[in-house]
Structure 1
Amino acid sequence: MVKERVTVIDIARAAGVSKSTVSLVLQASPLVNEVTRAKVNAVIRELGYVYNRGAANLRQSNAKSKIIGVVVNDLTNSFFAELAVGIDMVVQSAGYVQFLANTGESLDRQREVIASMREHGISGLILSPARGTEASDLKPLVAAGIPVVNVVRQVVGAKVSSLISDNHAGAHAAVTHLAGLGHRRIAFLGGFADTAVFHERFQGYRDALIHAGLDAGEDLVIGSAPSRAGGVAAVERALALPVQPTAALCFNDAVAFGACDGLRAKRLEPGVDFAVVGFDDVIEAKTAVPALTTVSVDPQGMGWRTAQLLLKQINAGKADAEAIVGSVRLVIRQSCGSSADKRERLALI
């Protein structure tokens, strides 16, 4: 059962002041003395009240919010830009506006932007959670009856919907392909080890190595920021190993692009001297030189499906949690060195 919202009247009663005084505090009016302001703010914090600025602005016209909040953990990664485009195509056609924010993996920033979105009366939230997000961080949204869909990353124990890609199957297919090309030392480059996505992709990588009877040593797993700079750093460490790998599955395409940069800095040619496989299939993957072999999760399509799931919950007036795992496919291009005729092809997963 959804908990009733705390109202201005509740705040006024608990603080022993009038409703109009509470409203003035919420509007940061200079007409309220500091002692009263402090007392009211203390009650607001204690009761967990969230000021719905959008509702306040629209109350007189009886209008409803048509805002969808979208919060991502790394907008510098082009994957999330493509995801946001997919979301926007769906919500815009449904008459909603996307309110987009980037957390840069900061939990504090995530709390700030979600609180701000709630003030503006969002109808629902799409969230790619920052590292360390816990179920308790999403509990106030669930209690308030605000539909939430987690995308890309799940939050263990959170009673909200989620849409992720089949990370295990994608990583398994990529490593199986590299093993089939004759590679015997295959590295796993990039990513934060404290995220569920990392563990799912790593487990697919490791299971494929074991299945192929290959070395699954810890020295071949090199974590780094999931960025282009992180890819440069990770491949440098891989090439410094006593016995170098000859191929790598990268945590995402950004890391893969960085790995290619790092290889060239060592006068090694991606796809010729060292095989590189990414994960995501961002737009740049097809036009890169060499074109990037990668596990495609269809970022824009993932955005469409996430937005459709959220709108379904908004229209139904309830937020029954659903967990969806999207299919992936291995797109074989030149960076893994397997396509002599340079034509793109797909591998079945």
Structure 2
Amino acid sequence: MAKVNPSTVSRVLNGDKRYSITESVCSRILELADRCSYAPQGAARSLACKQSFNIAVILDQLEHDMSSSAGALLLGSICREVTKQNYKLLLLPASGNDVDEEVLRCIRSSNADAYFIGGLMAGDRTLAELKKSKAPAVTFYGDDIIEKEIPDIHTVTLDVESGYRELFRVLQARKFRRAALFFLEEHKATRRYQAAKLASEYGIRLTDDISFYSPASDFKTRNRARLVALAQIDCLRAQELILCSTDLVALGVCDALEAAGIQPGIDVSVAGFDNLEVQATFRGLAEDTDVPFLATIDTHLAEAGTAIVHLLLKKIKENRKETEHISIKSSFIPRESIGFPKN
């Protein structure tokens, strides 16, 4: 039908870039494949290419990562891109006292072509097994401070500083002079560090630093933030800006301010981080509105998920040892919750 050699059809459908095939031939083959509802036969494809066409995602807190807004967005993006590239996604939990042993077990049992390994889960035995299998692995850091370099594992990181820098430029232009930090404990060493550094650089004094612990549930995080903010309401009332570590923390702070008769965005400005609850207002997640209220920093997690898959596929095809690092820049989204300081 396509009037080309079967090997050419195979190369086009499998995305093999090692051979020069004209754009017109590629288009003709892909058009015919689409018209015939072509789908690759997994077993035959694996035998022919000597690949499993599986990409494994190994996480130590799989249930939490799937239920949290950030985790669901990142994993959803990875899943969509893996499927788009005609691969299968394996979700593997590595929970246990010996994380390295659990990751090792996942690698040995999965027969995957590549691995996404969450956080700092790769120990010496895991690295040795990956080197032996020659399967590429990528890890993701949600903040750009890498505590530990992992040899032979490629990394995708979030550049937190770029988004915060955009935020502080806006604050400086609007003549903000002081702010308070309102952070979850788990973000104190990363996002807090960047916020404090840039606040100093842009001449904004941090008057208070409030941190608290919350269970994993998104709903509990917002409610816990509200309760902590209510307990600190006199302190928060005196602020020009409250800079929060996540959107849900910021929404909880907005809930508390409103309950105390303080108007977020007018009396006190509030900023979040994530851009996950884009339709949320401080009056409730379910409110029917087309205009998001919360000023926030967009972490572009969907873009990060796509970058992770593309990097894995690139390394599968290249079969090269050099580690690669990709940084995803965050960006500031100005909205109504940041107004102007009251003189």
TM-score, normalising length: structure 1 = 0.65
- Tell me the residue number matched to 1:173: 166
Q: Can you list the C-alpha shifts for 1:164-208, whole angstroms capped at 9, x where unaligned?
A: 121122223323433443443312222345x6xx54422331122
- Tell me the residue number matched to 1:248: 242
Aligned-residue CA RMSD in angstroms?
Answer: 3.4
- Match runs of 1:13-24 below 5 Å: none
Verify: 1:184 aligned to 2:177, yes or no: yes
The one-letter amino acid of 2:170's match is H
Aligned length: 272
The one-letter amino acid of 1:203's match is Y
- Tell me the residue number matched to 2:293: 291
User: Structure 1 109/337 Cα, relative in aligned 2: closer, same or farther at 3 Å?
Assistant: farther
Preserved CA contact (<8 Å) 1:75 1:81? yes
- Tell me the residue number matched to 2:305: 303
Q: Can you list the C-alpha shifts for 1:74-127, whole angstroms capped at 9, x where unaligned?
A: 3332122111222122211222112235679x8757863663354121222223
Preserved CA contact (<8 Å) 1:176 1:209? no
Q: How far off its partner does 1:275 sit? A: 1.7
Of 156, 161, 167, 2:154 maps to 161
TM-score, normalising length: structure 2 = 0.66
Comparing 241-250 with 184-193, greater Cα deviation is found at 241-250
Gaps of 5+ in 2: 1-42, 283-291
- Match runs of 1:182-221 below 5 Å: 182-193=175-186, 198-216=188-206, 219-221=208-210
SS in 2 for 1:279: coil
SS in 1 for 2:206: coil
The one-letter amino acid of 2:195's match is Y
Gaps of 5+ in 1: 1-57, 339-349
Q: How far off its partner does 1:238 sit? A: 4.5
- Tell me the residue number matched to 1:69: 56
Q: Counterparts of 1:150 and 1:261 in 2: how far apart (Å)?
A: 36
Preserved CA contact (<8 Å) 1:168 1:203? no
Q: Counterparts of 2:321 and 2:230 in 1: how far apart (Å)?
A: 46
Q: Counterparts of 1:242 and 1:92 in 2: how far apart (Å)?
A: 47
Of 124, 127, 131, 1:143 maps to 131
- Tell me the residue number matched to 1:271: 265
SS in 2 for 1:220: strand
Percent sequence identity is 22
Q: How far off its partner does 1:312 sit? A: 0.8
Of 328, 331, 340, 2:330 maps to 328
Q: Counterparts of 1:136 and 1:173 in 2: how far apart (Å)?
A: 39
Verify: 1:152 aligned to 2:146, yes or no: no
- Tell me the residue number matched to 1:48: none
Preserved CA contact (<8 Å) 2:265 2:337? yes
The one-letter amino acid of 1:122's match is A
Q: Counterparts of 1:250 and 1:137 in 2: how far apart (Å)?
A: 38
SS in 1 for 2:148: coil
User: Structure 1 291/141 Cα, relative in aligned 2: closer, same or farther at 3 Å?
Assistant: farther
Q: How far off its partner does 1:258 sit? A: 2.9
